[in-house]
Copies of this chain bind each other. A is one copy, B any other.
């Protein structure tokens, strides 16, 4: 069965959570799931649940909350480099049925990952693996090459950028 490439982008809520829902679905069918999270360093409660379910979760961010390209530190860059190498290995290993690369789209906006690198990951994806890419500002070349693209559009929101994020709901 051919695996597709999904993109969840846009400024609205629901991109990472949609990918987590896909994981729940895949796990219900006994599939093997991997999630690599770019730009996230803090430990969120959701990871306990995912790990309990057998998802391998790896994180390639720092505790730094990046809100513009000028906020990027050397450590953020090192972590993103490590992450890219790691997810490349994961895809080449052909061990996973569903691979989620959380926040990889927005990582291009912050110059942590290049567009060509994402296109390379899409290209080396094993034929049957489902690949999910999340994050704002998905580059147009990524959208063009993907099979399924959803824009999460913010209609209403009560807070911005992690301020007031509540345990159990936003993290």
Contacts and interface: CB of A to CB of B under 8 A. Distances in A.
Interface centre among A10, A27, A29, A31 (most CB of B within 10 A): A29
A24 interface: yes
Contacts of A25: 17, 20, 44-46, 49, 168-171
Interface stretch (A60-68, A103-111, A114-122, A142-150): A142-150
Interface in A1-37: 1, 4, 6-8, 10, 12-31
Contacts of A53: 49, 52-53
A78 to B, nearest CB: 28
Contact of A20 (B15, B17, B97, B152): B17
A156 interface: yes
A10 B97 contact: no
Contact of A8 (B14, B47, B146): B14
Nearest to A8: B14
Interface of A is mostly: mixed
A152 B22 contact: no
Contact of A148 (B13, B31, B98): B13
Interface in A38-66: 44-50, 52-53
A168 to B, nearest CB: 3
A26 B17 CA distance: 11
Contacts of A45: 25, 28-29
